[in-house]
């Protein structure tokens, strides 16, 4: 099914829930996503602030990374259900495996989900979904406008890359790995999955919807391409 137009998007939880659900933004995001009419559309939503709130609290209580990830995954599913409502999609279950997601995708042409199991983030879920359905590209809408040589929220002199290969991206990602709910532009596992299946990754600001539209339509956009 390689010839079909398939889009898989990793929607950062940071853009739908930076503290509280950003209702105005979620409505605009939903309209933009509904304008895309691929043959198949997979949307994977991250945990955002609520995931961080619970993981941070649990870390202070001495929790283990596995349990913290489980709590984070619950937050991703709440965010996914919220996006389903905003988009007016008739989907009442949040798939808990890539297999379930794939089945919904085949019958509905669209699926919205959150995380699956501890050990990786929703970026990996999106990349696995792309791998399983034969999508060539994963679009990552996040809170930064691209991948930098170091964390741009920490270093003001950080430089952004237009392009990176998988290994370079992997090395940069690994530098900001701190366990459950790390602040990484994408988790390192997702980059290994992308590398093994030659899936192109486009990372750009999720709040600039005009730029996002350009990326989805294959036009020039501000961001980083990994491939």
Ligand X SMILES: Nc1ncnc2c1ncn2[C@@H]1O[C@H](COP(=O)(O)OP(=O)(O)OP(=O)(O)O)[C@@H](O)[C@H]1O
Contact residues for ligand X (CB under 6 A)? 12-15, 46-48, 51, 122, 142-144, 147-148, 150-153, 172, 176, 183-185
Strand pairing of 40-45 and 110-113?
Answer: parallel
Q: Closest distance between ligand X and the C-beta of residue 1, in Å?
A: 28
Closest CB to ligand X among residues 67, 176: 176
Provide, rounded to whole angstroms, the least separation between the CB of residue 183 and ligand X: 4
Least gap, CB of 50 to ligand X (angstroms): 9
If 0-12 CB within 10 Å is exposed, 13-18 middle and 19+ buried, where does residue 90 land? exposed
Q: Smallest distance, Å, CB 163 to ligand X?
A: 14
Q: Which is nearer to ligand X, 95 or 146 (CB)?
A: 146
Q: How far apart are CA 210 and CA 20, in angstroms?
A: 23
Whole-number Å distance between alpha carbons of 107 and 105: 6
Query: Would you say 184 or 211 has its CB closer to ligand X?
Result: 184
Sheet (strand 6-11) strand order: 110-113, 40-45, 6-11, 137-142, 200-205, 224-226, 163-164
Neighbouring CB atoms inside 10 A of 97's CB total 13
CB of 133 to ligand X, least distance (A): 21
For residue 136, give Cα distances in angstroms to 4, 10, 57, 69, 104: 10, 14, 38, 28, 19
Q: Cβ closer to ligand X: 39 or 171? A: 171
Q: Which is nearer to ligand X, 37 or 159 (CB)?
A: 159
Residue 88, φ and ψ in degrees, nearest 5 = 65, 35
């Amino acid at each position: 099914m390689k010839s079909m137009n398939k889009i898989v998007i990793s929607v950062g939880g940071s853009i739908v829930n930076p503290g509280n659900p950003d209702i105005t933004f979620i409505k605009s995001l939903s309209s933009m996503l509904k304008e895309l009419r691929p043959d198949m559309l997979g949307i994977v939503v991250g945990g955002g602030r609520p995931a961080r709130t619970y993981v941070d609290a649990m870390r202070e209580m001495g929790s283990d990374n596995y349990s913290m990830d489980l709590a984070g995954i619950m937050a991703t599913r709440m965010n996914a259900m919220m996006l389903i409502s905003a988009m007016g999609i008739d989907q009442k279950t949040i798939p808990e495996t890539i297999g379930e997601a794939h089945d919904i995708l085949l019958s509905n042409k669209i699926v919205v989900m959150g995380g699956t199991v501890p050990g990786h983030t929703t970026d990996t879920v999106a990349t696995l979904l792309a791998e399983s359905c034969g999508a060539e590209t994963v679009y990552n809408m996040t809170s930064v406008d691209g991948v930098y040589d170091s964390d741009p929220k920490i270093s003001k002199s950080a430089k952004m890359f237009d392009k990176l290969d998988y290994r370079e991206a992997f090395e940069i990602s690994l530098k900001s790995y701190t366990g459950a709910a790390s602040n990484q532009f994408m988790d390192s596992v997702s980059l290994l999955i992308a590398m093994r299946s030659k899936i192109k990754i486009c990372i750009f600001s999720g709040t600039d919807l005009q730029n996002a539209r350009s990326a989805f339509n294959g036009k020039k956009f501000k961001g980083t391409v990994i491939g």
